[in-house]
Amino acid sequence: MSETKVISPTSRQEGHAELVMEVDDEGIVTKGRYLSITPVRGLEKIVTGKAPETAPVICQRICGVCPIPHTLASVEAMDDSLGIEPPKAGKQLRELTLMAHHVNSHAIHHFLVAPDIVPEDLMVTAINSVSEIRKNAQYVVDMVAGEGIHPSDVRIGGMASNISELARKRLYTRLRALQPKVDEHVELIAGLVLDADFPEGLGSHDQPTVASDGLYGNREFFDLDRFTEVMPESWYKDPEIGKKACSTIPLYDGVSVEVGPRARAVEYRGFKEKGVVAQHIARALEMKSALSRAIAILDDLNTSAPANVGNFDVRGTGKLGKGVIEGPRGMDVHMAQVGENGKTEFYSALVPTTWNIPTMGPATEGFHHEYGPHVIRAYDPCLSCATHVIVIDDDDRSILKEDMVRL
């Protein structure tokens, strides 16, 4: 006798999602489906018809957990559409912002999974460690990008301004001092994950990993021809779930993929492991890589160089610009097209967790359903993604219209 277990909403993640698992007599998951139930906000529609500068300001509000990648992907999409190449210092400051954000965001995830992996007697230590790291990482984002949560100073053409030499030195000293702290934190988390008794192979799957870059992102990587998008109805096969699911299913080379820290480690750092434990370890290790990169940038940064191209022509060429950024949770793609009248004509965002959604459900299969939420949390999901709406007739509940309203 098969039974269906539903967890709705799944907890300790951003946004609202549902995990639907069919289980056999032993409670083992035979079919897992994960779907977004986050309601529509229409941000892509809001920015259409407005000045290109509007998009980064609005689109960073997609999410308060990873506003940095969205801002960066948005300005990079605009840069590309307008044919702008930001100066070196501008690019470095953008990268520095993202590196600090990786460290911050991964630390937040450790807070979210703490109840799963941290024993009672180490809880205070672990949480203090998260707070200490976040405080320092956010200090960098505050100073470099103007604001820790929704940064005001990441702009089309670069950054609003360079930082002062004093700020560079302060940040450098502070991040060097943070290094041993982060090393210790990573060791703590990695040790706890290994001690957590997750069954061997939990969460492992054979879907490909996709990452545009080891840490920052690369627009050349993302090939629009290899990308397809299917509606939830045809993906989930179950009409009930298809109707309820709010996101489209993005595929790369026709299949669902995994993005995020493990994907980056596999693609660029020779990492081989799969599954829940591997995802946690890859994420923790990435904090070290990101911090080292941030320090290297601060070492090299010329604070008297311009950080922005200055004035630019907002009259677009109609080119479809791409901004491809590796967010903490994976590849974040924004696409924008600015018309000759200087207004955004088209805007679309393929956000990190959307890529993972079709992979996450099946990844719960083959293990007891009690482990389902652990598999989900290992992706650090953030559900503020493309939203699918249907219009239903109030009287007979028939579907009048199906539409994709993005974000």
Partner 1 sequence: MVLGTYKEALSARSTDKQIQKISQDGGIVTALLSFALDEKIIDGAVVAGPGEDMWKPVPKVAMTSDEILAAAGTKYTLSPNVWTLKEAVRQYGLEKVGTVAIPCQTMGIRKMQSYPFGVRFVADKIALIVGIYCMENFPFESLRTFISEKMGVSPELVEKMDIGKGKFWVHTADETLSIPLKETHGYEQNGCNVCLDYVAELADLSTGSVGSPDGWSTVLTRTDAGDSIFKQAVEAGLIETKPMADVKPGLGLLEKLAKEKKEKNQKTIDDRIAIGLPVPYKASTEKEDPLANY
Tokens for 11, please give them. 């907890």
* Region binding partner 1 by CB under 8 A among candidate stretches 18-26, 95-103, 136-144, 209-217: 136-144
Q: How many residues does the chain have?
A: 407
Q: What secondary structure does DSSP assign to 284-301, as a single string?
A: HHHHHHHHHHHHHHHHH-
* Region binding partner 1 by CB under 8 A among candidate stretches 167-175, 206-214, 331-339, 353-361: 167-175
- The Cα 252–Cα 73 span in angstroms is 19
Q: Do the Cβ atoms of 321 and 314 come closer than 8 Å?
A: no
Residue from the set 14, 79, 153, 267 that interacts with partner 1 by CB under 8 A: 153
Q: Which is nearer to partner 1, 147 or 213 (CB)?
A: 147
CB of 276 to partner 1, least distance (A): 36
Place of tokens 């021809």: 225
Full 3-state SS string of 85-152: CCCHHHHHHHHHHHHHHHHHHHHHHHHHHHHHHCCHHHHHHHHHHHHHHHHHHHHHHHHHHCCCCCCC
- The Cα 267–Cα 263 span in angstroms is 6
CB of 135 to partner 1, least distance (A): 11
Establish if 306 lies at the interface with partner 1 (CB under 8 A): no
Establish if 162 lies at the interface with partner 1 (CB under 8 A): yes
Q: How far is CA 339 from the centre of its chain?
A: 28
Q: Which is nearer to partner 1, 164 or 179 (CB)?
A: 164
CB of 143 to partner 1, least distance (A): 5
* Region binding partner 1 by CB under 8 A among candidate stretches 139-147, 231-239, 264-272, 290-298: 139-147
* Region binding partner 1 by CB under 8 A among candidate stretches 43-51, 163-171, 249-257, 277-285: 163-171
Give the phi and the psi of residue 18 in degrees, each rounded to 5.
Answer: -130, 140
Establish if 190 lies at the interface with partner 1 (CB under 8 A): no
Size of the site for partner 1 (CB under 8 A): 17
* Region binding partner 1 by CB under 8 A among candidate stretches 5-13, 36-44, 156-164, 188-196: 156-164
Residue from the set 163, 182, 298, 325 that interacts with partner 1 by CB under 8 A: 163
How many other CB atoms sit within 10 Å of the CB of residue 318?
12
Q: Which residues bind partner 1 (CB under 8 A)?
A: 142-144, 146-148, 153, 160-164, 166-168, 170-171
